Every structure is written in C-alpha cells, then in structure tokens.
Amino acid sequence: MIKIYLGLTFSSPLLPEPPATAAGELYLDYPGLVRYLEHFHALSRNPTNREALRTEQYRQLIEHHLSKATETPFYAASFAADPLATAEDLLERRDELLEAGYRLAAPLSTGTPARITVLHELEHLLLEAEQSFQLLPGLADRLNALLAALHDRRHPALDLRVHEPLDLLPPGLRRLLEALATAGDKVQFINSTPEPAPSGDLGAWQEKLGGLLSGREESGTRALRGDGSLIVIRAERETHIAAYLARMVRDNDNWRPGVLMTVRNQTLDTALLMEGLPSMGVPSTSLARPSLQVLKLVTAFLWEPVEVQRIMEFVSLVTKPLDRRLGQRLAEHLADTPGLFGARWNFAVEQSFREMEERKYPAARRRRAREQYEFWFRRRRYPRDGKAPKSEVRSLFVFLRNWALEAFDEDKEQSGLIVLSAQAERATELLDAQPETELSYLDVERLVRTIYQPAPTQFQPTEQGALPAAFAPASVAQLPDSGQDELERLIWWDFVETDPSYFFSNYYPPEIEFLRAGSPHGCCQVSSPEQRNQLQLWQNLRPALTPRRQLLLCIPRRVDGTEVEPHALMGDLEAAFSAEDLARITVDIDEAGQPSGLLSDLRLPGFQPVPVRPLDPPEAQVVISRPDALQPRERETPSSIDDLLFYPHKWVFRHQLGLRGTPILSIASENRLRGNLGHLFIEQLLEEVSQTDGRVTRAQVEAWVDDNADRLLRQQGAVLLEYGQEPDRVQFLLTMRKSAWTLVNYIQQSGWTVRGSEQELEGQLANLDGQVVRGRADLVLERTGTDGVPEAAVVDLKWRGKTTFRNLLRNGGDIQLALYAEFLRQQGSGRVHTAYYILRDALMLSRNELAFSGAETVPVDEDHAVIQRETVQKILATHEWRWEQLGQGVLEIRCKETIADLEDLYLDLEHDALLAMKDDTSPFDDYRSLIGLIR
C-alpha cells in the first residue's frame, strides 16, 4: 500500500521538491495526486504551461458565440474592451463548475440563470461535431476523465493522509477523495487542530489559537512567564536577526530548529553560510528573471514613435540578444541623446564594429552582432495607433527563442534561458492559434502578459546537515526534526505581513442557490469566499500550532530597506496577553541585551560595543607625496582648464589619475535634453541660413523648424514623441520657433554671416609653455566693420540660466568665451565680441550692443576688449599659481566646507591678479565621496 501525505501546499512548481521519505511514501498536492493517478490509468495529460493557449482557444469560441447570439450576452462589453481577459475569466468559471461536478454539456433546464446559460451555450458550441473548435484539457477536464476511469482500479492501493479539513478542500478534490474511498482506498484526515503544548508560554498561546479555530470559550487567561518556549525577536533590519540566529545555530550543536520562510530570500541562508554552516538551498535568483526582462521589452521594436525608455532597458540588460559592447555603447548614447539613427547614433554603431575588428573578434561573432543589430533596429515599424502584421510579431519571438537556445548552449549555467525559450515558444503557438492576421499595440501587450507565467524558482540542493526549511505556512507539517514524529522547534523567519489575498465569488447569490439546489445538471458546491478565507486562516495558524517545544517569531522593522508590518497573528498575540507579558518574551537585538531566562539552555551571541567614529570632514589641502608624477597634458579643453583653475582636485582625479565614474544609464534630464535639442536645431538651421542668398524671413525660419522637427526629435529627442508627451513637445517647438527666429534676426540685422557652428578653435597661451587648448564654439560669426577692420563674434548657446551668465559677464568669469576670443585674435580675426544666447528666453546677453543691436547688456566699467585681455591674463596667472601648488605637492580641495580654511590660507595671496575663486561646491563633482563630502 502506497502512503500519500496530501496537502494543498505540500508540492508545487514554485516550491522545492518535498523532503525524502521512506520507501512507499509520497508528499503530493491536489494537481500532483491527479497526475500520479493519471499515470496508472494511461490518461493523456495537458502539456505543461499551456493555459495561455487554452485561453486563446476559448476566446475564439466566445467570438463565434457572440456573432451568433440573438441577444447581447452579459460579457459583450468586457469582451470588446479586453477579449483575452474576458476569455480567461469565463474559462475559469467553466472549469470551476466542471470541477465541482456540474454538467455543462447537459441540456438546459428551466430556471437556469442567464450567466450560467451562456456557459451552457459555449459548452454546446465546443462539443458540436460540425464545429472545429478545440480546447486543451484543463485540470477540471482531467479530473472528470480520471473519475470515470477509477472503477478499473488500475492504481495500487492507497493510504491517503489528508492534511486539511474536508470542508476546506476544493470541491474537485473532495469528489476525488470520495471516489477513492468508495473504490476501497484508505482516506483519513490528520488531526487538524493538534492539542496545545502541555505547558509553558507556547502552550498558552496555542490554547488561545485553538479556541479561535474551534470557537470554544476560553477557560481563563494564562500569563506568560518567559520560559523560552515562545520568543519574539525584534530588530531594525532582517540582517541583524539573521546574524543572531546563525550564531546561535553555530554555537549550539544540538539546537536545530525548522525554518518557515514564506518570502524566499537569501538573507538567513547567507548568514548561515558566513558562519560556516550548511546551506538550506534558498536561491538568489529566479529562473524567470531573463524572461521578466527580455520578453516584455522586445515588442517595443515594433512600434513608432519609439519608446526610448524600453529600448534603453533592452540595451542595458546583462542577458540580451545583442552584443554586450554594442549594447553598452548604444545605452550611453541614449542616455545623452535619446533618439535613433542620427549622426552620433550611426557613428556609435560603426565605431563599435570597428573596435570588434581591432580587437580581433572572430568573424562569426562580428557577423552575428551585425545581424542582431539589423534585426532589432533596422526593422520596419508600425504606427502605435495602427496594427502590425502577425508575421512580424511572430518573428520577434522566434528570434528570441532561437537566441535563448544558442546562448544556453554556450553557457549551461544560464538555465533561465531555457525558461525564456519556452515562453517565447508559447508566444508563437498562441500567435499561430489566432485567426487574425494583424495585431494592435494592445493586442501584442496582452499577448505577452498572457503567455508570461512565473517560472519555477531554482532551488539549490540542500546541503547535508542544513536546517530543514518550509516555504508555505501549512507545509511545516513536512519538516523533519531529528527523527521525531512531531516538529519540536520552529523559527518563523518572516513573521511580517505580506500582500493580503482578497477572494470574490464568480456567482451572484441566486446563482449559488441554483447550483447548490440540485438539478438535471447535478448538485454543485462551489467554493465561497468564506471558505477560502477560512482555508487561509487555517493555513496561517499551522506554524503556531504545530511546534511542540519552541517557536521563535522574527519581526524586523525593515526588510530590504522597506518598512514592514508584523504578521496579522501578532495582533492576536497582543490581544491575548498584556504588554508586560509580551516584554518577558521579547528579545530586541538592537538593544544588545541578554534575554534573562528565555534561552538559558543555549549559548547566546555576545555583544561588544563599538564606538561610533564619524568620518573625517574634507580638508582644505592635501599633500601629494610624488608631485613630480603630475605632468601637463599635451592638449587641454576649456572645460578641463576651468576645473584646473577653480577645482584642482577634479582635474587631478579625472585627467591625471583617470578616475571616471560609470555612466548612469538613464535618459537625460529635462533641461539637458532640451539643451541638446536646442543646439541641434540651431546648428542645422544656421547651416541652411548660411547657404541661402538674401535675407531669411520669420515665416521661413518657423517653417523650417516645423518641417524638420519630426526628423530631429527622432534622432535626439524621441522622448518628446512618445504617448502623453504632446503638451511638452508643442511647448518646446513653440519655444524653438521664437528662439530660432530671434537669433537669426540678431545675426541678419547686425550684418553677421555664419562662419561656423560647433566650430573647432585651438590656440596656445603665451606663458603656458606651449600648452595647446582646443574646444568647440557653439556659434562663430564674422563681418567687416564700418572702418574696414574684420570682426568676429563668439556666441555660447545655453538653454536657460540668464541670471548665472549675466553674473559671469559682470564679474569677468566667462573664461570659455575669453579663450575663444583670444584664439580668434591669434588667427587674425581683428575685433572679437562675445555673448551668451539663452534659448528658452530668446535672449542675447552681452556687455554692450556693438555686436548685436537690441541685446540685453550687462553694464561694466571698462571696454569689452580690455575685459577680455584682463580675463586672459588672470587665466594665465591662475594657471601658473595652480601649477606652483601642484609642483610643491599641494592639492586644493575646494568645496563649501573648506572655503573658510582656504580664505585663511590665502590671506597673503595677490587676489587682484587672479580669477575670483568660487565659494561653493562644484555642482558637477563626481568625486564628492573621495574628498569627504559624502560620509
């Protein structure tokens, strides 16, 4: 006789294999028992993970029913909104009735409720011989086939030990157990409410909970004594509790409790491993992770406008059907300029392939990388409000499946790729089953949501000697405990509240009365929400009622940094006993106290106070032990010169030590995005203007912006083309129309011609020992003055910040413009003017109106040419001073916290000859942690 322990949570694809038992013993759940019996009766089983295909088959059936209905069915509105979700709900109702014994195939009887009548009609359509509809068998169909075959008695004699009470079991399982008992198999129910522990705190609480289950009156209140049988362990974080328990297990060889871990995470297992103890086999990742990430992103390549954020997520994935280096390069591009197929995009792509050749990548790998790029990015896209051919959608999942299998062949440890290939295959099966030839955006997204199912968690093998673990509350009955028949000790690891389950009935009260009353279709007892709630309560009480000697409840205040609430049973515990009683059984690890009497028979972890030593604040200057290692670079840029002059530590860290932060692969901020787009619009507009004979009108400028907006936004600002971004896009284009025309008008009215946009300028400064400085000027203009002297103007384009740049002009802090003006003079440009143009405000800022009539001026005492020369002299002097400091091994750390110390150090400095130093922290300092600002 085969002994089977039957429990609703004893076995599941989401749980590890049940523990090894003696020969002839099995732990099974309801579906597992059906599969076990099907094997003996030679019944065909539905292939695994085909629920999505069943849903699609039922959808087609419903669509046919809707087309033939003479009256509007109750599901019509829902089906029009979401066909697959409606089909899934109706299929669930159909399976629930069949599982409970209701005969949908029988002829309709008088008085059948309208909604149940629709299910009858659907079933009749399914069974009609002239129709070609098919429906894969679900658990309900398999159960009814099994019940019909049980009279043959092909299975061995069974001794079934049922864990849950009969009245809480699903109707289908109750029917199966009744049939097995009638056929001669032994069916018995384990005592669902065990007797409480004979004495102690644990027994007192179990007595309270037993009364809650049975509804009996309490005989009296037993005070908690703190005898160690019931313990509440509290801490701020779950890691603190894990370290405490792991040390207890390590130091007490005979203390080996079971562990209930309803939320599977590695915290406790990692703590045990760090103490040299065996692993419980809890996984760190799920097999579903690759499918969770890749499967939901590939459909973004079908539609336009491009969903930049989803494309960004795709190219940033560690596991993806795209070359890793190419994906990294594209992610960096999208972070800065969120758009596709512009000049910078094409350069990034081709540069990646050139690097592959330089690195001697195998030709097959380069070819595959090129094919992957062409497949994903060079495919035809379809309007999001339109439809895409089903063949195009299918090709995505076929490509994904083939790639997953090939990648798994190359790396057998990536077992999640097998799950991904299986889900991609289910997607193609579902598409093949659909009669439609085109799919909308919502159809494709619904398809992905339908075929995605949680994949099994990959549990590692449990190491010998590890603590026995259960992963569902009612499964603690499976835990062995040193060969004892009963569980002696239990750690409820995550005694915290998880998301509650809400149960709703599929049927109205009159429908339930009809089903239970009995009819030609059979009496049907469907599970009510009350029964499901009672089952959940019964399961949640198992961990508290099962252990006989000791129960530890672990309650962190935060898990993974997020605040959590204690389990609902903690409220029952607080209601049953006084605050003084609870204090006797509580151990607060963060208070580093020793529990008196609670765990007196065990060696407990000791606590040692560690003094808190705050990290040192930033120092005004640090000493460089090898100053001769710092050498001037062959070529600097205006930006790097700015760092050297004002924030030397940034220049040393970046350009001498080569410390560069990993780029944050996220879409550029709003202001940065608009600034880059504004530069792009102006650059290409001025190229057109420079090639046009005669003056350009405002209408022509605005027409150019409108005509080229879509192309430029696709290349570098596709975010503004996405759904819901229309107000921002309209506002940006209105701003650009006004700003572009204002700039062109300034240029034309003042007689300037465009010499270059994003033009490279290079020069040498007199006393910098041949130091070359090279940069790119946003806009360079030229003209001949009224006196015949050639003139030039350098305009720096900014998106916003008129107050900041007005102050730079007023204080002579426009270093970049001063350097560009000096370089133009060295090239023979004669008089050179400088200005800032604020795109958002369509505002030209300069020191006078000599270059641009009508510009907003910043009054200064001296001529602009004198100020430019003085600024260059101060740059030279400051540069020389900084190198003197570096030569002496002194590196200045300039930030808000060191300003006062620096002022004291520089009391004797000749400040008038130098640039005015900044009195705040650099807004773009990547090295704040190195200088002590972050501590």
Nearest one of 225, 148, 139, 213 to 179, comparing CA atoms: 148
pLDDT in tens, 269-282: 889 999 999 988 77
Mean pLDDT of all residues belonging to the chain = 86
Six token digits for residue 606: 């000791």
Q: What does the alpha-carbon distance between residue 490 and residue 191 come to, in Å, rounded to a whole number?
A: 19
State the pLDDT at residue 485.
60
Distance of CA 32 to the CA centre of its chain: 34
Say how many CA atoms lie within 13 Å of 730 toward its Cβ.
5
Residue 19 has pLDDT above 70, yes or no: no
| Residue 34 pLDDT grade (very low, low, confident, very high; cuts 50, 70, 90) | very high
Average pLDDT over residues 505-509: 86
State the pLDDT at residue 828.
83
State the pLDDT at residue 767.
59
State the pLDDT at residue 575.
86
Distance of CA 791 to the CA centre of its chain: 55
**First CA to last CA across the chain, in angstroms?**
68
Residue 483 has pLDDT above 50, yes or no: no
State the pLDDT at residue 14.
43
Q: What does the alpha-carbon distance between residue 682 and residue 611 come to, in Å, rounded to a whole number?
A: 59
Average pLDDT over residues 751-758: 91
User: Do β-strands 856-857 and 843-846 pair in parallel, antiparallel, or remain unpaired?
Assistant: parallel
Average pLDDT over residues 772-788: 90
**Which has the minimum average pLDDT: 43-47, 709-713, 922-926?**
43-47
Nearest one of 732, 744, 746, 753 to 701, comparing CA atoms: 744
DSSP H or E segment with residue 558: strand 550-559
pLDDT in tens, 397-446: 999 999 999 988 888 777 778 888 888 998 999 999 899 999 999 889 88
Q: Yes or no: say if 101 and 111 are a contact pair by the CB < 8 Å rule.
A: no
Residue 700 has pLDDT above 90, yes or no: yes
Average pLDDT over residues 10-27: 59
Q: What does the alpha-carbon distance between residue 784 and residue 791 come to, in Å, rounded to a whole number?
A: 6
Task: Select the more confidently predicted residue: 290 or 682.
Answer: 682
Q: What does the alpha-carbon distance between residue 578 and residue 559 come to, in Å, rounded to a whole number?
A: 27
Q: Yes or no: say if 187 and 180 are a contact pair by the CB < 8 Å rule.
A: yes
State the pLDDT at residue 383.
93
State the pLDDT at residue 482.
39
* DSSP letter (8 states) at residue 838: E
pLDDT in tens, 565-574: 899 889 888 8
Residue 517 has pLDDT above 90, yes or no: no
User: Do β-strands 382-383 and 387-389 pair in parallel, antiparallel, or remain unpaired?
Assistant: unpaired
Q: Yes or no: say if 553 and 598 are a contact pair by the CB < 8 Å rule.
A: no
Nearest one of 189, 80, 137, 170 to 503, comparing CA atoms: 170
Average pLDDT over residues 781-790: 88
pLDDT in tens, 341-382: 888 899 999 999 999 999 888 999 999 999 999 999 999 999
DSSP letter string, 695-743? PPPHHHHHHHHHHHHHHHHHHH-GGGGSTT-HHHHHHHHHHHHHHHHHH
3-state secondary structure of 551: strand
Average pLDDT over residues 271-296: 77
Q: What does the alpha-carbon distance between residue 116 and residue 507 come to, in Å, rounded to a whole number?
A: 9
pLDDT in tens, 141-179: 999 999 999 888 888 899 999 988 888 899 999 999 999
DSSP H or E segment with residue 353: helix 343-358
| Residue 15 pLDDT grade (very low, low, confident, very high; cuts 50, 70, 90) | very low
pLDDT in tens, 180-230: 999 889 999 886 666 666 668 888 888 888 776 665 655 556 678 888 889
Paired residues of 260 in beta bridges: 470, 492
Q: Yes or no: say if 489 and 550 are a contact pair by the CB < 8 Å rule.
A: yes
Say how many CA atoms lie within 13 Å of 386 toward its Cβ.
10
Residue 507 has pLDDT above 60, yes or no: yes
Q: Which residues of 738-750 are buried (b: 16+ CB within 10 A; e: fewer)?
A: bbbbbbbbbbeeb
Residue 455 has a CB neighbour count (10 Å cut-off) of 23
Alpha helices in 452-600 (DSSP H): 509-517, 529-545, 568-576, 579-584
Name the most confidently modeled range: 263-272, 537-546, 890-899.
890-899
3-state secondary structure of 831: strand
Six token digits for residue 248: 């207890």
